[in-house]
Amino acid sequence: MIPYEPPVDISREEAAAEAAKELSKPVYGQASDSLLSKAVGKVLEWIADLLDGVVDPSGDGRVGLFMLLGLIALVVVVVLWRAGVLRTSGGKSSQTVFDTERPRRAAQYRSQAEQEAAAGDYTGAVRSRFRACVAELTERTVLDERAGRTAYEAVADAGRAVPELRDPLRPAADVFTEVVYGNRPGTPERYAAVVAADEAARRVSTRTLVQG
């Protein structure tokens, strides 16, 4: 005999609160830009309005609860897709720093990045400036000329050669991968992180490498 379970009653306000609580978790924080926040707010209002006509406190509230959970799951998928989490390619070959086997000089990528940033194209600026950073490290022999290297491989290889580069390069690699391959927008703040990495690459001493 199946044990009796009391019905779960959930009001309109409780439904909206539960949805908001779920979407406020840190895993969704990376997806919160102004347009997305507005979109999520509209979805939450829609969920609340829908449940207002579905959830009957005098009946079996479990139906409304299951519907709420299903709607939250749908919103979560949309949020993660919008954030690029579900669209980031897992293939190593598709996440390489350069899109050619014959990269340009660091100064050329750097000049391009500065022009893109001045025009407000921070997505392009992030891409070009990180390429300038990796090209700089290659020109200074911190990195060898190896085709198909990913941003994280560049960080690992440069960090082994010059440990002090790890801290500035890692956040820049995160930004490059998220913006270029994760469909996240470039911003002045993200571009600044890549500029800091490029400046570190230009300033770092290669004396140990030469002596070694």
What are 158-183's pLDDT values in tens digits?
999 999 999 999 999 999 999 999 98
pLDDT at position 33 over 60: no
Torsion, Cα 78 83 89 90, to 10 degrees, reads: -90
Which of 28, 52, 83 terminates a domain? The answer is 83
Specify the pLDDT at position 91. Answer: 44
Q: Is residue 3 part of a domain?
A: no
Q: Is the pLDDT of residue 54 over 70?
A: no
Asked, for residue 74, whether it belongs to a domain, the answer is yes
Q: How confident is the model at residue 96 (pLDDT cuts 50, 70, 90)?
A: very high
**Cα 110 from Cα 106, distance rounded (Å):** 6
Question: Please, which pLDDT band fits residue 192 given cuts at 50, 70 and 90?
Answer: very high
Looking at mean pLDDT, say which of 4-8, 44-48, 124-128 comes out highest: 124-128
Predicted local distance difference test score (pLDDT) of residue 50: 59
Count the domains in the chain.
2
Residues 118 and 193 in one domain: yes
CA 186 from chain centre, in angstroms, equals 10
102: enclosing H helix or E strand: none
pLDDT in tens, 65-86: 666 677 677 666 555 555 544 4
Say yes or no: 71 and 126 in one domain: no
Q: Are residues 111 and 170 in the same domain?
A: yes
Verify that 39 and 103 share a domain, yes or no: no
What's at 2, amino acid-wise? I
Confidence of residue 149 (pLDDT cuts 50, 70, 90): very high
Find the domain containing 177 and state its range: 92-211
The whole model's pTM is what?
0.58
- Residue 5 placed within a domain: no
For residues 104 and 191, state if they share a domain.
yes
On average, the pLDDT of the chain sits at: 76
Instruction: Evaluate the CA torsion angle 156, 158, 160, 164 in order and state its sign.
Output: negative
Do residue 170 and residue 197 come from a single domain?
yes
More confident residue, 117 or 25: 117
Long-range contacts of 147-152 (CB under 8 A, 24+ apart): 147/96, 147/98, 147/101, 148/92, 148/93, 148/96, 149/96, 149/97, 149/98, 150/92, 150/95, 150/96, 150/97, 150/177, 151/95, 151/97, 151/176, 151/177, 152/177
For 99-143, write each residue's pLDDT tens digit.
Answer: 888 899 999 999 999 999 999 999 999 999 999 999 999 999 999
- Tell me, yes or no, whether 176 lies in a domain: yes
For residue 199, tell me if it sits in a domain: yes
Contact 172, 197 (CB under 8 A): yes
Q: How many angstroms separate the CA atoms of 158 and 135, rounded?
A: 12
Q: Which of 83, 107, 124 is the last residue of a domain?
A: 83
Residue 96: strand, helix, or coil: strand
Q: Based on the domain organization, do 123 and 189 belong to the same domain?
A: yes
- Rg of the chain taking only CA atoms, in angstroms: 24
Q: In terms of domains, do 99 and 199 share one?
A: yes
Q: Is 150 helix (H, G, I), strand (E, B) or coil?
A: strand
Cβ atoms 169, 117 nearer than 8 A: no
